[in-house]
Structure 1
Amino acid sequence: MKIASLLLAPIKLSEQILERLLFERRVPVLFVFAAVTLWLLSQAVQIRPDASFVKMIPSSHPYVENYLTYRDDLSGLGNSLRVVVQAEQGDIFTAEFQNTLKQVTDEAFYIPGVDRSAVKSIWTPNVRWTEVTEQGFVGGPVIPADYDDSEQALNNVRTNILRSGQVGILVANDFRSAMVQVPLLDKDPETGEKLNYQSLSSKVETLLRDKYQTDAVTIRITGFAKIVGDLIDGARSVALFFAIAIVVTLILLYLYSGSESGTLIPIACSLVAVIWQLGLLKALGYGLDPYSMLVPFLVFAIGVSHGVQVVNTVRLEQSLGAEPWLAARRAFRAIYIPGLTALLSDGLGFVTLMVIDIQVIKDLAVAASMGVAVIVLTNLFLLPVLLSFIGVGNKAVARMEKSQNSDTSMWQPMTFFATKRGASIAVVVALVALGVGLWGSKDLRIGDLDAGAPELRADSRYNLDNAFISENYSTSSDIFVVMAITPTQACTSYQSLAGVERFQQFLTGVPGVQSSISLADVSKRVTAGLNEGNLKWRTISRNQYVINASLGYVPAGFMNSDCSLLPVIIFLDDHKAETLSQLTHIIDDYAMANNTDELRFEMAAGNSGFEAATNQVIETAQYDMLAWVYGVVSLLCLLTFRSIKTVFCIIAPLALTSLLCQALMAWLGIGVKVATLPVIALGVGIGVDYGIYIYSRLNTYLVEGMSLKDAYLATLKTTGSSVAFTGLTLATGVVLWVLSPIKFQADMGILLTFMFLWNMLGALVLLPALACLLNARSAVTSAIKDGYQDSQDKGAL
């Protein structure tokens, strides 16, 4: 406790210094805030959406490190687009369709950011057919140089496609569509800057879909860049929801406070906090990715939450006879320590997201914690100064006086939970809820639980396009790549190819695997062709000269330049968490049993390989994050209140809400992933404010000598009413997100609404119940005592 006193002493000193600075130099302070706000506003309007493929994956995970080591050799197996041209009537063997496919291929080839050397379609020269004739091997591009749109030329194309082995890969199984594979670079080669996925997605829509889609032809596009582009486009609805939330908050805050100034000033200060946050992010070189676009709303919500507490305290002081300047000064004094503790808990709680080694989550942590930091300035400092000029108005003061003097308060029934009987009932109900949460959360899963892009609605255009590809092509869009590593110049040896072939045969019995392809398949197919197509020869020859002959031409992506890498490309039914978890465990076991110095299997590349790595990081990090967020919040509460009992009273309701939130996720089929993992930390960070403010006010009345029941009633009439208002207002704002076209935003809306409401109920019901049963009345900090004594000593100010 001596350590706590030493730590609190500077805080008390800073309170006194800041109080004098803010309220004795109000006009200069306002000029400084205005100047900084104008500058940061000029920065904020320049902020742009920012997304990166590498930021979405855990760059230090072994799978991703393996991919990055061989990135240049895994052409097209990282970040890419798949563009499908579909004939609405007939098949692809018409002059009109082939002309459209050629134009789409050419158009995609010249889009900035495309790896042009690896673009593939039946119109690109790197897609060839081969055949063994009496004269030997013959072959050429699928679309010959003398193609002339004639019926004979189209028949030749049909024959070449069948001989090329591209049916189910670049050509649909039913011959009614064809695909263009468009690998992407990490940087735009023209500007040298990282690829702008919003711009790329827009160009793809304009140059490909809008330009070439007609009644006769449908264009379908999938890939990470398209998902991000659709997310950014859909996330623009955040601005609409943000505007609606501001209006709703404005109306509810006025109905609650009865004060124009007590409504407009907190809203204005919260908007200033958002401006500061966005401006600082831009100044520090950050952008807003699809996942951190929701953070400005959370900053606004936290600002309103703390602003309501300040307004409520000013109302209380004015109802006791203080002038606006004195009421605001006393409010600052009363709010400073609990407010700073709550905001520090928020900020450090968000910082704990940094333990998750995924850059997009780290960026979210930076954005959220930076937003909380500016709230300290705008809502803890600026707000009381503004209110010191005009106060909250006579109407609001009269309403507070009526509430304080009413004997039939609406809060009277709530004091039941501050009695032993009511507390016992509340704790029993909480224990039942704990059991429900434990039982429900056991079904919580890591990763995606749906096919396609779970971030988007099931009926979104992207997911419909993805479903079409999965149904009509043998190679799904869910690709998992295992890297077979050999010594230099040994990838074409019999031992290497035979080892890869055995691995592929093993994969045929793995659930979720559609098919696989590797250099071994190329060698077997060509060897059979060299022997008149006899199926008996469709095998890996033990004769190295035969193998060398079979690999005279190797398609790009099947081996690297120094012949030390053999990618095994695995096509999966889906990328659901269960599929990926089972596959990685099976491959791990196989590798441990079969790896040698001459051939070893390492994971992983492909979109599903990165998804598997992400799932593994999240599975481990979610518990680290929870331990850190609760550890930090508990430590700050302990330093402030200096009582383990008090800490338990504040933290227990939050922990119960987190557990119930996990059960809700399991029940709704929402997996723990990049989009949803931060929700729990955000919910805890905001929810802890309720408990801190309730307990601070409760202890203030206990110091005055009130019984727990009377102190709690007085708390409910002041801080309790503002906590209830804040919880309901925030829940009303975020519940609108369920209407978003972006599914992960709708999921976050459901989860945050649940956490706001349950954290509010926990602070209003379970916290006083625990305080009653634990006899926490004696757990009063000297900081609260000092704050109360200061208010008595300086009452004549």
Structure 2
Amino acid sequence: MNNAVTPSFNATRSAARTEPLLERFFFRNRPVVIVLMLLATLFFAFQASKIKPDASFEKMIPTFHPYIANYLDHKDDLQGVGNAIRISVEATEGDIFTAEFQDTLRQVHDEVFYIPGVNRSALKSIWASAVRWREVTEEGLAGGPVIADSYDGSPRELERLRANVLKSGQVGALVANNFKSAVIYAPLMALNPETGEPIDYQVFSDQLEQLIRDKYQTETIKIHITGFAKVVGDLIDGASQVAIFFAVALGITLVLLYAYSRCLRSSVVPLVCSVIAVIWQLGLLKTLGFGLDPYSMLVPFLVFAIGVSHGVQIINAIAHESATGAGKELAARRAFRTLYIPGIIALVSDGVGFATLMVIKIEVIQDLAVAASMGVAVIILTNLILLPVLMSYTGVSGASVRKQQYAEEHGKHPVWRFLSGFTQRPQALVLIVIALGLSALGLHQSQGLKIGDLDAGAPELRPDSRYNLDNAFISANYSTSTDIFVVMVQTPKDKCSAYHTLDVVDQLQWRLQQLPGVQSARSLVNHTKQTMAGFNEGNIKWMGLNRNQALLDQASIRSTPGSFNADCSLMPVFVYLNDHKAATLESVVAEVEAFAAEFNSDSITFKLAAGNAGIEAATNIVIEKAQYEMLIWVYAVVGLLCLATFRSVRIVLCILLPLALTSLLCQALMAKLGIGVKVATLPVIALGVGIGVDYGIYIYSKLQTYLNEGMSLKAAYFNTLKTTGKAVAFTGLTLGIGVGTWVLSPIKFQADMGILLTFMFVWNMIGALVFLPALASILIKKPASNPAPVSSSAPQPADHQESSQFEEQRHAV
């Protein structure tokens, strides 16, 4: 008996020495691995349950850009031109000059005043004491608050209110042009003064809905709300829709996995491991002090998709090994041994590729890079280690093994035979010509790709969303739109009202008002002209700039608050735009920069830019520069990692060129669909490269294995397609179908991402299965011919010996 057992143990020990160190470590300590990962999952699940949406106005903007730096330097002198909301109270019957409407408007003004986070000192409406009227009388200039202290709602006071509104200059600003609605303009602070924490936009948006819209909207009163805080609040509210579509995608993936594997446990286990990766990612973000902003909410699904991609490869490998007769544990070991190196390389490439988004100095994109990189890092543990360890206990079902064995022994594989034909020179050259044609088409179409928003309102939401309908109402009924571009005019102290300063600013305003897309431009110049006319009995001939400096100074002092700062060294010029489309912003920026280059001097300096449109313009400039810089970094880093792995520039080209084609076609698709490159969409191309490189690395690693055995390129690729290629095709189609359901989302941002990600999932799969072998046939040197039957799938003798040794060890133990 000893003579029988000893050789078995010696053979097993010899085989064990050939096992990779990581394989021995994890599979000899399987219970410990499972318990540790279970504890980690419980901890991260608890942490993830506490994660909150995290959105900040300043995180959405490039604070390093000179325009934004100028705004931040003068932020205290420009109250109300940054992050603000507008609440329009509309009378559906009659006009605003009724006691009932004014009572409602007053109550809404008071409600907004007490909402935490509102800058109360800068709050404006016709009920604010700082909003005043002026007129010329026989006794001189007269004025006072629009709502007089004696207001009591009587018809006499309402007529007086009408007169005051007309004399205030607020028609088109705080009062609609048709007198059927009035606006409450509420600038926001960065921090909630009650908590000292950044404003929670979800809570703030809910307060606007509950305290304002739900409370005061009736059949005769309608409430319209716009502003950055409301957009973010609506996006966060839509997070429930994101979760629903995530669940739908998970269900579709489960069904398709079962149809693919014919094994319930082989379908559930990889999904569970992928969900665990998402839990770990969210838990890590919370543990490290990060939140999840509205534009990063799709990253968890991206992590899930990458996890499924790697999980399918492992399940496919285990099924293949089981079909050769290996037991549960041995099949899992072999799958791990075969895939852990290409899997780690692919995931490291993903993580480093995502990390290159850090070069874009916009904090919300950098947070997205951190979230995506963390998610990829945990997949190494959950899907490359935990998954095969769990499968070593569950194994695959007998039905799945029989299906795999039948496919191996009797399958004709017409699709794989057809695709393997692309490794032959004639077919490969045809494909390369097609790829060049698609590249030319994509390059031509992508010339129409625009930077920034291409639609009015909030493009992240549907055109018929409540927010965009509210925005359209305000744009249609007011002369001063919600899109404000502010030029800062800096002078020496006490010189903002100098004749030369006002004259030059007047010229700037005239030039800007000639631009398409500009509604109007207002500054201290307008107030000074009106006051000068008032000094002369309201004669319109005197509505100009007088060269008498004493008169100009006297007129300037009477201007409204916010026309200049405390020491008269800064004057804002407010440019009201029809929208914040990229073309509109580009024309305004170009005009102001040209004007500044002509007139900047020691006595006057024009600085860009403040206001929501000015900040958007700066963001567009950064995005335009960063999109190509980001792509260069992504492809350079991924290329270097592939080069370090395969030690061949030709192989790197085989893997990266199909990805480059997908990126180019994705840009063309964005141009065709009218999706601009902006903070929300810029990362998608980098994320698509990260997902696609997995396919190429897995396929070429398997292909290289068969080539090293001496197979011809066609035979090697045929065998690659039967295993790894089949998993890649399934993964690409499954994830594409799951993400494709997002087009039904009420959030346009999610629908757009669904279209782009579906396109990239499918095209990356096509590139890896079709264009990669065609490139390989041209670029890769052919190995020495060692004919092997293409359909051969029988295990090598070494496999039988290893299986026998492994089973003997199990029985002996």
Change (3 A) 1:393 1:407: closer
2:762 alignment counterpart: 757
The list of structure 1 runs, each at least 4 consecutive aligned residues, that deviate by more than 4 angstroms after superposition, is: 776-780, 788-797
Q: What pairs with 1:468-479 in structure 2 (closer than 5 Å)?
A: 468-479=473-484
Matched, 1:466 2:471: yes
1:492 alignment counterpart: 497
Matches of 2:626 and 2:411 in 1, distance apart? 51
> Are 1:234 and 1:740, in contact at CA under 8 Å, matched by a contact in 2?
no
The one of 772, 777, 780 equivalent to 1:775 is 780
2:372 alignment counterpart: 368
1:129 alignment counterpart: 133
Matches of 2:522 and 2:331 in 1, distance apart? 75
Range that drifts further, 699-708 or 201-210: 699-708
Q: Give the deviation of 1:530 after TM superposition.
A: 1.3
Matched, 1:672 2:668: no
Q: Which runs of 5+ in 2 are unaligned?
A: 1-16, 786-795, 807-813
Q: Tell me how many residue pairs correspond in the alignment.
A: 778
Letter in 2 for 1:664: L
Q: Deviations over 1:424-452 (max 9, x none)?
A: 22112111111111111111111111111
The one of 111, 116, 120 equivalent to 1:116 is 120
Change (3 A) 1:626 1:365: same
Q: Give the deviation of 1:645 after TM superposition.
A: 1.1
> Are 2:512 and 2:588, in contact at CA under 8 Å, matched by a contact in 1?
no
The one of 543, 560, 568 equivalent to 1:563 is 568
> Are 1:723 and 1:760, in contact at CA under 8 Å, matched by a contact in 2?
yes
Q: What pairs with 1:688-703 in structure 2 (closer than 5 Å)?
A: 688-703=693-708
Range that drifts further, 422-431 or 749-758: 422-431
Matched, 1:159 2:163: yes
Q: What pairs with 1:59-74 in structure 2 (closer than 5 Å)?
A: 59-74=63-78
Letter in 1 for 2:383: N
Letter in 1 for 2:585: L
The one of 456, 462, 474 equivalent to 1:457 is 462
> Are 1:310 and 1:331, in contact at CA under 8 Å, matched by a contact in 2?
yes
Q: Deviations over 1:757-779 (max 9, x none)?
A: 01101111111111112234459
Matches of 1:258 and 1:576 in 2, distance apart? 51
Identity among equivalent positions (%) equals 60
Matches of 1:755 and 1:776 in 2, distance apart? 30
Q: Give the deviation of 1:14 after TM superposition.
A: 14
The one of 173, 177, 186 equivalent to 2:177 is 173
Matched, 1:686 2:688: no
Matched, 1:620 2:625: yes
Matches of 1:594 and 1:138 in 2, distance apart? 37
Matched, 1:658 2:677: no
Q: What pairs with 1:220-619 in structure 2 (closer than 5 Å)?
A: 220-410=224-414, 411-619=416-624
> Are 2:710 and 2:783, in contact at CA under 8 Å, matched by a contact in 1?
no
1:143 alignment counterpart: 147
Q: TM-score, normalised by structure 1?
A: 0.96
Instruction: Tell me the secondary structure at the aligned position of residue 611 of structure 1.
Output: helix
The one of 38, 42, 67 equivalent to 1:38 is 42
1:722 alignment counterpart: 727
Q: TM-score, normalised by structure 2?
A: 0.94
> Are 1:683 and 1:752, in contact at CA under 8 Å, matched by a contact in 2?
yes
Matches of 1:793 and 1:424 in 2, distance apart? 43
Matched, 1:713 2:718: yes
1:9 alignment counterpart: none
Change (3 A) 1:214 1:155: same
Instruction: Tell me the secondary structure at the aligned position of residue 494 of structure 2.
Output: coil
Q: Give the deviation of 1:705 after TM superposition.
A: 1.5
Q: Deviations over 1:188-221 (max 9, x none)?
A: 0111000111100000011111111100011000
1:783 alignment counterpart: none
Q: Give the deviation of 1:401 after TM superposition.
A: 1.4
Q: Which runs of 5+ in 1 are unaligned?
A: 1-12, 781-787
Q: Give the deviation of 1:140 after TM superposition.
A: 0.6
> Are 1:646 and 1:779, in contact at CA under 8 Å, matched by a contact in 2?
no
Instruction: Tell me the secondary structure at the aligned position of residue 132 of structure 1.
Output: strand
Letter in 1 for 2:673: L
Q: Deviations over 1:114-140 (max 9, x none)?
A: 000000000110100112222222211
Q: Deviations over 1:731-765 (max 9, x none)?
A: 01111111111111111100110011011011111
Letter in 2 for 1:141: P
Matched, 1:207 2:211: yes
Range that drifts further, 654-663 or 386-395: 386-395
Matches of 1:775 and 1:635 in 2, distance apart? 18
Matches of 2:673 and 2:227 in 1, distance apart? 26
Q: Give the deviation of 1:407 after TM superposition.
A: 4.9
Instruction: Tell me the secondary structure at the aligned position of residue 88 of structure 2.
Output: strand
Range that drifts further, 576-585 or 413-422: 413-422
Instruction: Tell me the secondary structure at the aligned position of residue 442 of structure 1.
Output: helix
Matches of 1:685 and 1:448 in 2, distance apart? 26
> Are 1:87 and 1:97, in contact at CA under 8 Å, matched by a contact in 2?
yes
Range that drifts further, 217-226 or 130-139: 130-139
Instruction: Tell me the secondary structure at the aligned position of residue 514 of structure 1.
Output: strand
Q: Give the deviation of 1:16 after TM superposition.
A: 3.0
Q: Give the deviation of 1:551 after TM superposition.
A: 2.5
Letter in 1 for 2:270: P
> Are 1:342 and 1:689, in contact at CA under 8 Å, matched by a contact in 2?
yes
> Are 1:83 and 1:222, in contact at CA under 8 Å, matched by a contact in 2?
yes
Change (3 A) 1:118 1:456: same
> Are 2:739 and 2:757, in contact at CA under 8 Å, matched by a contact in 1?
yes
Q: Give the deviation of 1:390 after TM superposition.
A: 2.2
1:217 alignment counterpart: 221
> Are 1:198 and 1:229, in contact at CA under 8 Å, matched by a contact in 2?
yes
Q: What pairs with 1:178-197 in structure 2 (closer than 5 Å)?
A: 178-197=182-201
The one of 739, 742, 756 equivalent to 1:737 is 742
Q: Give the deviation of 1:573 after TM superposition.
A: 1.4
Q: Deviations over 1:271-309 (max 9, x none)?
A: 110000000001111111111000111111100000001
Q: Deviations over 1:585-640 (max 9, x none)?
A: 12111101110111010000111101101100000000011001111111111111
